[in-house]
Amino acid sequence: MSDHDWKGVTNQILYGVMFTPQLDDAAASQMAAAMMERRYFGDGPDVYADAIAQAQRYTGLLTDDIETPHSEQGFRDFLRRLAGELNERRGQ
């Protein structure tokens, strides 16, 4: 995945939680299930897991492209939770 592609993929995730009031474990679990089943997230779990890994290494803002009610730190924490859920579901 190129340097710019991962940002578009994480923007899909951010857009997907715009109306989610709490970015908690339950929200991460629900999104991971949707990714595994390719519901709303048709690229499949491997693409999202790779993008999340790249986002976690990125030092710039992740929430700058889409207006969101979630803080940068809140979204980063959600990505950490989501990565854990995806890894567990993918058997990693």
For the stretch 28-65, pLDDT in tens is 999 999 999 999 888 999 999 999 999 999 999 999 99
pTM above 0.95, yes or no: no
**Count of other CB atoms within 10 angstroms of residue 92:** 8
Evaluate whether 55 touches 5 at the Cβ level (below 8 Å): no
Question: Collapsing DSSP states into helix, strand and coil, what is residue 87?
Answer: helix
In the predicted model, is pLDDT for residue 1 greater than 80? no
> Residue 42 in contact with residue 32, Cβ under 8 Å?
no
How does the average pLDDT of the chain come out, rounded? 94
